[in-house]
Structure 1
Amino acid sequence: MTGSKALMIQGTTSDAGKSLLVTALCRWLARRGLRVAPFKPQNMALNSAVTVDGGEIGRAQAVQAQACGLAPHSDMNPVLLKPTTDKGAQVILQGRAIGQQEARAYLDYKRIARGAVLESFERLRDAYEAVVVEGAGSPAEINLRADDIANMGFAEAVDCPVVLIADIDRGGVFAHLVGTLALLSPSEQARIAGFVINRFRGDLALLEPGLRWLEAHTGKPVLGVLPYLHGLMLEAEDALPRTPAPAAAERPFRVVVPALPRIANHTDLDPLRRLPEVEVEFVGPGRTPPPADLILLPGSKHVRADLAWLHAQGWEEAIHRHLRYRGRLLGICGGFQMLGERIHDPLGIEGPPGSTAGLGLLALETTLAPEKQLRNVAGRLAFADAAVAGYEIHAGVTHGPALARPALVLAHGPDGALSADDQVLGTYLHGLFDKAPACAALLAWAGRPGLAPTDTETMREATFEKLADMIAEHLDTATLLTLLGRAPRETPSSPDPGQCPKLGSG
């Protein structure tokens, strides 16, 4: 397996730290002067990003590409599944949507997807000195072992070593590691090159007896114990943030967001969540929508179904009451479409064909079309001298008189709408709050002037450096380099260890 140029990170569970470790390794290797790329064979997530080649991949892989100093490319995540129902998902193959599939149908389709996965991986392996691969979920999901392309099935096909990571903060870390190893086949067990324990807090000396037992019991080395790091700027792969927001008394400006069943790209809210003066609260089913300064309707992978959920949960009445009290309302992508008068899906793009009445707050209608709009964009707010930059991922075509008063002016033209009374704003732009001037201007529009946010890009770069430092301090880096087929002494150090080289788009 040495000399493979690839190293795969698999986890004992979802959210064990796979994305974090891959991101950290990408920046650490790039900082050492290696041309490195991330790869995830198959991802299931509703947080996605637009690539340099005009495709769509999981957001985590786009962030990992940035850690490498690369523009994200469709080959970095050749299979992306975007759930639309409990049993079905839109399938994105090498950046392009190929349609909806039910879970059983996709099991048969995996044979075709496997070809695309291996094709994309080989292109990356040929183009880069190292490829850091992220698994999905757990390799011990034995019901999904047949034709696996996400974990050990992939690792066996390309003959790459695997590092298994587990989250000690959740408890049961030794059971997770030993149990996962026990459920693997003999060849898969041999492929595990070592363990990493994530999110440790406390005195490491107290953990040492357990680590020594683990190594003796499994015959596998512990390659390191990663500390619990605070203040990281890494977007979640899919799940809503699990870290509770501080009490409202500490964050006087309140942003309330309905936790839609098919919420998409909720990472748009991350810049607000990191402001100490702002409280962002996701409100799930069965809860009365609370008072807010700003209600934000997020993106959705199934807009008509999520709109029906809003009605059933009492949000329409709450929104009208909020507006009567001069509150502000902002919709992004699917949330923007909900603000209009009707949403039409004549071809059944997201569900059964038909039309659904919107909230009727902006004079516009949206028709879903087969071709997605996928592009990275930049421009300015229409009502303030503030730059914006982000991306569009949507299947809707919106038209109506409300668009005559746009919310943004982008390089390709106007975008979104702002109501005549300035209370309701809608836009297709994801990443709306990423630029500090735009974030400050939008908060001022919503009723909280005078804040000084930090650019998301600046915070993310600081996170990459913090993660690379963590790798250097807490992991067996000599073994990691050997697993990638590189002798540690042959790998040059970066002239400036605090800077990542700009490596181009590959």
Structure 2
Amino acid sequence: MAGLMLQGTGSDVGKSVLVAGLCRAAANRGLRVLPFKPQNMSNNAAVTPEGGEIGRAQALQALAARAPLHVDMNPVLLKPQADRTSQLIVHGQVRGTLGAANFREARRPLLGEVLASYRRLEARCDLVIVEGAGSPAEINLRAGDIANMGFAREAHVPVVLAGDIDRGGVIAAVVGTRAVIDREDAAMIKGFLINKFRGEPALFTDGYEAIERLSGWRGFGVLPWVPEVAQLPSEDAVVLERGLGARPGKLLVACPILPRIANFDDLDPLRQEPGAEVAMIPPGSPIPSSAALIVLPGSKATIADLAFLRAQGWDIDVLAHHRRGGAVLGICGGYQMLGRTIADPLGIEGPPSEVAGLGLLDVTTVLGNRKALAQVEGSALGGRFTGYEMHMGVTQGPDTARAFARLDIGRDDGATSRDGLVLGTYCHGLLAKPPFRGALLERIGSASDGVDHDARVDTALDALAAAMEEHLDIDGLLALAGIGA
């Protein structure tokens, strides 16, 4: 039963991408490999075939492993709703809400379920590659940990520590981790690797050797910056565009960054289009009047994010854009915001309330306890798409008679305004396939390159795996995991 865990010196050091690359490298060697993350915290989630939720990073890793998605790949998922509360997803289903005050105590009983998921995956494959969360150096969170060393020690999985040299201070980050964690945890770490290196490798030779000497761990290599990684979905942070105006010959697609923005990788396929430019609008900046399309994205806290949108003055920008004849697309929570009202009678997102929406669609939404989770296929704007639904709430009203999409399962989805300029849908991921993406771009005066985004991601994974084979000791990593030559 072979397993290997990648932990990091901090958040966003590239653990998710490294695990994906290792999964693809192992799969390319003919191994049956599966990804695993004991506990994830992200509002970017994917829907499995059986109707459960896992983090989108694990969905990417499953794609890299050429394996179907399964809830065991991410048994515990925390979806932040506010600064101090998160929705708790266990084995793909909502189990309640965790607050900062009870987080440590509430996660301890979950370790048994995490280990059960891991053992089931072990039984199905040759190798499980595990991703840690945050950093084991966060020793204030060590008690009751199920995401890093708490899991590694219970499951007896060897650990390799990843450091990000691009952010600077990588020598101190790796050696400092060794200094602050306890002796038993340090014994689980069998080596390190360095990620995101730019420049001349010879200049880091002394630093690499210093890490080996000061930490006592062996190095598994230095991975250079891999440009193709930019084509992979990001889990933890929205990459802001530096310019807010479209370059000549490109149409601008603008998306405001909401505090609880969810599944923002919906827009990734548009980022790759040569005729379009996606601008993620940060707080404090207006939505550019030059935008051809405004996308209101998914949200984990629709009512709170709608209030934030108004506080930024973005509601004025959206309404002015519509008056000028501009197109608006709302996805999931963004769709709910476009309606007349959003009601939360059960207090799903906070105190029971009802708020006015933007009024661009003649629909109303009532939030409820039932969460819709399903993979879907259908047609919209005359183009085919595949995607997934993930939402709490029922939306009804006259504009749903002009449905946005017709799903293959025989029901309609979403709504279209009377003037045809405002579209709302509960379907995530629908821009990946060229037919629908091309139809949407044609509607706003552009054209698609016709490339399947999923195929583009798959090609990027192969490029990542090839770079890792070239620059890292993959044989050594597999041997550490228990895979012989």
TM category, shorter: over 0.9
- Tell whether the 8 Å contact from 1:250 to 1:276 is kept in structure 2 after alignment: no
Identity of aligned residues (%): 50
Q: Matched residue pairs, number? A: 482
Give me the whole-angstrom Cα distance separating, in 2, the residues matched to 1:20 and 1:36.
15
Give me the whole-angstrom Cα distance separating, in 2, the residues matched to 1:246 and 1:369.
37
> Cα–Cα, structure 1 residues 474 and 244, in superposed 2: closer, same or farther, change >3 Å?
farther
Q: Which residue is 2:126 aligned to? A: 129
1:252 is aligned with what amino acid?
Answer: K
Instruction: Indicate whether 1:354 and 2:353 are aligned.
Output: yes
Deviations 1:6-60 (A, max 9, x none): 1000011111010011001111111111111100000000000001221001000
- Tell whether the 8 Å contact from 1:379 to 1:388 is kept in structure 2 after alignment: yes
Bigger shift: residues 467-476 or 79-88: 467-476
Give me the whole-angstrom Cα distance separating, in 1, the residues matched to 2:395 and 2:66.
35
Q: Which residue is 2:386 aligned to? A: 389
Bigger shift: residues 26-35 or 332-341: 26-35
Instruction: Indicate whether 1:117 and 2:105 are aligned.
Output: no
Instruction: Indicate whether 1:43 and 2:40 are aligned.
Output: yes
Q: Which residue is 2:330 aligned to? A: 331
Bigger shift: residues 284-293 or 330-339: 284-293
Q: Which residue is 1:474 aligned to? A: 471
Give me the whole-angstrom Cα distance separating, in 2, the residues matched to 1:200 and 1:247.
31
Q: Which residue is 2:168 aligned to? A: 171
Give me the whole-angstrom Cα distance separating, in 1, the residues matched to 2:295 and 2:6.
36
Give me the whole-angstrom Cα distance separating, in 2, the residues matched to 1:78 and 1:244.
36
Give me the whole-angstrom Cα distance separating, in 1, the residues matched to 2:227 and 2:370.
40
Unmatched tracts of structure 1, length 5 or more? 489-506
Unmatched tracts of structure 2, length 5 or more? none
Bigger shift: residues 110-119 or 400-409: 110-119
- Tell whether the 8 Å contact from 1:339 to 1:361 is kept in structure 2 after alignment: yes
1:248 is aligned with what amino acid?
Answer: A
Q: Which residue is 2:448 aligned to? A: 451
> Cα–Cα, structure 1 residues 337 and 246, in superposed 2: closer, same or farther, change >3 Å?
closer
1:226 is aligned with what amino acid?
Answer: L
Give me the whole-angstrom Cα distance separating, in 2, the residues matched to 1:462 and 1:244.
27
Once the 2 structures are TM-superposed, how far is the Cα of residue 477 of structure 1 from its aligned partner? 1.8
Instruction: Report SS of the residue matched to 2:343.
Output: strand
Instruction: Indicate whether 1:159 and 2:137 are aligned.
Output: no
Deviations 1:477-501 (A, max 9, x none): 221111121212xxxxxxxxxxxxx
Aligned equivalent of 1:146, options 143, 146, 166: 143
Give me the whole-angstrom Cα distance separating, in 1, the residues matched to 2:248 and 2:89.
42
Once the 2 structures are TM-superposed, how far is the Cα of residue 194 of structure 1 from its aligned partner? 1.0
Deviations 1:51-93 (A, max 9, x none): 1221001000011011111111000000000000100000001
- Tell whether the 8 Å contact from 1:304 to 1:343 is kept in structure 2 after alignment: yes
Give me the whole-angstrom Cα distance separating, in 1, the residues matched to 2:245 and 2:365.
38
Instruction: Indicate whether 1:379 and 2:378 are aligned.
Output: yes
- Tell whether the 8 Å contact from 1:297 to 1:330 is kept in structure 2 after alignment: yes
Instruction: Report SS of the residue matched to 1:279.
Output: strand
TM alignment of 1:257-276, pairs within 5 A: 257-276=255-274
Once the 2 structures are TM-superposed, how far is the Cα of residue 251 of structure 1 from its aligned partner? 6.2
Bigger shift: residues 312-321 or 133-142: 312-321
Bigger shift: residues 204-213 or 90-99: 204-213
TM alignment of 1:3-18, pairs within 5 A: 4-18=1-15
Instruction: Report SS of the residue matched to 1:231.
Output: helix
After TM superposition, the score normalised by the length of structure 1 is: 0.93
Give me the whole-angstrom Cα distance separating, in 2, the residues matched to 1:235 and 1:249.
23
> Cα–Cα, structure 1 residues 96 and 285, in superposed 2: closer, same or farther, change >3 Å?
same
Once the 2 structures are TM-superposed, how far is the Cα of residue 243 of structure 1 from its aligned partner? 6.5
Once the 2 structures are TM-superposed, how far is the Cα of residue 469 of structure 1 from its aligned partner? 0.7
- Tell whether the 8 Å contact from 1:251 to 1:279 is kept in structure 2 after alignment: no
Deviations 1:86-109 (A, max 9, x none): 000000011000112212222111
After TM superposition, the score normalised by the length of structure 2 is: 0.97
Give me the whole-angstrom Cα distance separating, in 1, the residues matched to 2:211 and 2:39.
30
1:60 is aligned with what amino acid?
Answer: A
Instruction: Indicate whether 1:24 and 2:21 are aligned.
Output: yes
Instruction: Report SS of the residue matched to 1:369.
Output: strand
Aligned equivalent of 1:53, options 46, 50, 56: 50
Deviations 1:315-334 (A, max 9, x none): 12111111111111110000
Give me the whole-angstrom Cα distance separating, in 2, the residues matched to 1:243 and 1:17.
20
Bigger shift: residues 73-82 or 464-473: 464-473
Give me the whole-angstrom Cα distance separating, in 2, the residues matched to 1:317 and 1:204.
51
Deviations 1:276-303 (A, max 9, x none): 3222111222222222111110000000
Q: Which residue is 1:420 aligned to? A: 418
Q: Which residue is 1:364 aligned to? A: 363
1:375 is aligned with what amino acid?
Answer: A
- Tell whether the 8 Å contact from 1:7 to 1:160 is kept in structure 2 after alignment: yes
Give me the whole-angstrom Cα distance separating, in 2, the residues matched to 1:210 and 1:143.
29
> Cα–Cα, structure 1 residues 273 and 251, in superposed 2: closer, same or farther, change >3 Å?
farther
Supply the RMSD in Å over aligned alpha carbons: 1.4
Q: Which residue is 1:504 aligned to? A: none
Deviations 1:175-209 (A, max 9, x none): 11111111111121121111111111111111111
1:444 is aligned with what amino acid?
Answer: E
- Tell whether the 8 Å contact from 2:39 to 2:146 is kept in structure 1 after alignment: yes
Q: Which residue is 1:33 aligned to? A: 30
Give me the whole-angstrom Cα distance separating, in 1, the residues matched to 2:244 and 2:259.
24
Q: Which residue is 1:300 aligned to? A: 299
Instruction: Indicate whether 1:183 and 2:144 are aligned.
Output: no
Q: Which residue is 2:239 aligned to? A: 241
Give me the whole-angstrom Cα distance separating, in 2, the residues matched to 1:467 and 1:451.
26
Deviations 1:335-385 (A, max 9, x none): 00111111111111111111111111111111111110000000111x32x
Give me the whole-angstrom Cα distance separating, in 2, the residues matched to 1:246 and 1:359.
23
Q: Which residue is 1:195 aligned to? A: 192
Instruction: Indicate whether 1:345 and 2:344 are aligned.
Output: yes
- Tell whether the 8 Å contact from 1:289 to 1:314 is kept in structure 2 after alignment: no
> Cα–Cα, structure 1 residues 201 and 38, in superposed 2: closer, same or farther, change >3 Å?
same
Give me the whole-angstrom Cα distance separating, in 2, the residues matched to 1:247 and 1:20.
30
1:184 is aligned with what amino acid?
Answer: I
Bigger shift: residues 269-278 or 152-161: 269-278
Give me the whole-angstrom Cα distance separating, in 1, the residues matched to 2:482 and 2:235.
29
Deviations 1:160-189 (A, max 9, x none): 110111111111111111111111111211
Q: Which residue is 1:77 aligned to? A: 74
Q: Which residue is 1:497 aligned to? A: none
Deviations 1:446-494 (A, max 9, x none): x223332411111011011112112211111221111121212xxxxxx
Instruction: Report SS of the residue matched to 1:175.
Output: helix
> Cα–Cα, structure 1 residues 251 and 230, in superposed 2: closer, same or farther, change >3 Å?
farther
Instruction: Indicate whether 1:309 and 2:308 are aligned.
Output: yes
Give me the whole-angstrom Cα distance separating, in 2, the residues matched to 1:155 and 1:345.
41
Instruction: Report SS of the residue matched to 2:227.
Output: coil
1:367 is aligned with what amino acid?
Answer: V
- Tell whether the 8 Å contact from 1:265 to 1:299 is kept in structure 2 after alignment: yes
Once the 2 structures are TM-superposed, how far is the Cα of residue 440 of structure 1 from its aligned partner? 1.1
> Cα–Cα, structure 1 residues 278 and 473, in superposed 2: closer, same or farther, change >3 Å?
same
Instruction: Report SS of the residue matched to 2:54.
Output: strand
Give me the whole-angstrom Cα distance separating, in 1, the residues matched to 2:280 and 2:379.
28
